[in-house]
Chains A and B, each alone.
Chain A
């Protein structure tokens, strides 16, 4: 317990505050310096967010595809949300009916499933591979620079290029099917059939983002003093014990932060499935994630697309909240000053259950 606490403790304790007179007016200057950033963020994030929420309660004007009637727009109540959550599509005579298959409305729960499936599977593989890669890099000193450069390459390649690269690798006559043929597996329609397409996205994403995970974990590993391991070795701890009782608890915070970042990244995944599998794959929407569904919907109507994007935002905010509040992903750096301790809502969870 104490090790983790010291390791993540704010560097503020040791920092001596100067005499009062030197710090006079800090408050005003601080607010002044932060204001431009806050104004910009308000313009590029808060405004669109609020606007999207307002739009989500408006009817889409224009010809209603279901009824062929011209709809005037105006206040819609929760109709747009019902459209997605309860699968209610507009029907003739102003009533609603369950969304017929094939419409975008009917794809909501499929898209939610695909998004969550991608998230769980990719993050699972990234944790496993990331831990493994980080241990390899942590163990070796010769050639570490070379390995770090090599492993940064997937991270640096633009996702659009990654998608095109794997599209080529997964082509019917491509190298992936050739290699599979070498072990006697029949060629797959990687970007066409539903499940191969899903796994094509997962493989490409794991390839691209595991390095990020590994580097974050490695940074955490490097903070552990080798004394701890020597002590464990002297006490006769097995490798597995050392890993589960020492390494994992000591890297819990950076690991949770890495998992949080990656989870939120996959929840909003767009580029890879959109380019690699054309947003479809198989039945037409086998790799349609929530983000792709929003973009598809925009052409059919801004306001119902806004309702969907608001739902995506709420999902991501909810997951982030769970991580920060209950899983110990301590992402906010405690700034200097007692201000931090006073703020109840962001206060870090006690680093409990680590010291048994």
Chain B
């Protein structure tokens, strides 16, 4: 900062602060690194413990050595084994099917609504935006009893009725999608669209040829957030899934071990690691985009 332009007294005060700042610089740096270390431990320590346990021999389940000991792959084999009535492999496939279907439907429908909400002027728009936001805060538990009755009446609660899981998931994935996309769309340089229209494109053409490529990162981020929220769903899936359609979250919560009434900790940790790793990879690759998607609705109010 330039001190010359300031009145003399302020300039003096400023130099003082400067000196003070210089002295405490090292202390501040140390504190900064301490803070960073704390945040990294906060995020990683419990997760690290899950992974270490996943690789640990079942006889050493409660070993508290902080690094991997008695390393084995047996827990991962056990996680996929169907001999104790778990169908973890199938549950993984189910979660992918449900996640991709929900995300695709929500994106296909939501992208138009978000475009209209961010871009067009029409009666009742503000009310609709409020309703969609309200929908995203809707308690899932309020869906359970009416949908349970409906689905059991039409025979969706047995066999391979994936729609009984996909349709309820849309109730929270679609509002999230519309909300995030609207926030992304209202940040975009729409002047380009207007120039395209001046050059003779229709609004539809301008959207497809100019705006859609620009919107790709936002669309991609929203799809990731939608998929993660569907992948992590438990309450509705637990109510509406069958042995065949059960997603991973439900499978993990009900994991049974070889011995009755004994929690198969190491196997569950291995299963948890498998479920989490794809998400961790997504987080590492797209962390910047995910953070911007998460905060898009929140701060640009």
**A positions within 8 Å CB-CB of B:** 8, 11, 15, 18, 22-23, 26-31, 33-34, 36-38, 40-41, 43-45, 47-49, 51-52, 55, 133, 136-137, 139-140, 143, 145-154, 156-161, 163-169, 171, 173-175, 178, 207, 210-212, 215-216, 218-220, 223, 230, 233-234, 236, 253-254, 257-258, 261, 264, 267-268, 270-271, 274-275, 290-291, 294-295, 298, 302-303, 305-306, 309-310, 312-313, 316-317, 320, 330-337, 339-340, 343, 346
Contacts and interface: CB of A to CB of B under 8 A. Distances in A.
Contact of A291 (B130, B141, B183): B141
Nearest to A135: B35
Interface string B288-301: 10110011011111
A3 B134 CA distance: 28
Contact of B36 (A36, A143, A157, A267): A143
A161 B128 CA distance: 35
17 contacts: A27-B122, A31-B122, A37-B113, A49-B138, A136-B39, A139-B32, A148-B287, A151-B43, A158-B249, A171-B263, A270-B140, A270-B234, A305-B145, A312-B141, A330-B301, A336-B186, A339-B125
Chief secondary structure at chain B's binding surface: helix
Contacts of A257: 297-299, 301
A205 to B, nearest CB: 13
Contacts of B255: 164
Contacts of B118: 335
Interface string B1-33: 100000000100110010000000000000010
Nearest to A168: B265
B279 to A, nearest CB: 4
10 A-B pairs with least C-beta separation = A30-B122, A136-B35, A150-B43, A37-B113, A160-B249, A30-B120, A33-B116, A51-B146, A219-B295, A158-B232
Given A156-B279, A335-B117, A45 B138 contact: yes
A158 B39 contact: no
Given A33-B113, A158-B248, A152 B194 contact: no
Chief secondary structure at chain A's binding surface: helix
B174 A40 contact: yes
B121 A171 contact: no
Contacts of A312: 139, 141-142
Given A156-B228, A274-B253, 12 more contacts: A37-B112, A37-B174, A41-B171, A44-B167, A158-B276, A164-B269, A220-B298, A220-B299, A274-B234, A310-B142, A312-B142, A330-B301
A165 B122 contact: no
A334 B297 CA distance: 12
A327 B198 CA distance: 44
B142 A161 contact: no
Contact of B49 (A11, A169, A309): A169
Given A37-B112, A313-B142, A337-B125, A159 B232 contact: yes
A325 B121 CA distance: 25
Nearest to A294: B141
Nearest to A47: B146
Interface in B87-130: 105, 109-110, 112-113, 115-130
Contact of A27 (B121, B131, B147): B121
A274 B280 CA distance: 25
A120 B279 CA distance: 30
A335 B135 contact: no
A52 B143 CA distance: 8
B62 A165 contact: no
Nearest to A258: B298
B268 interface: yes
Which has the most chain A C-beta neighbours within 10 Å: B186, B253, B279?
A: B253
A316 B220 CA distance: 31
A153 B39 CA distance: 11
A258 B299 CA distance: 9
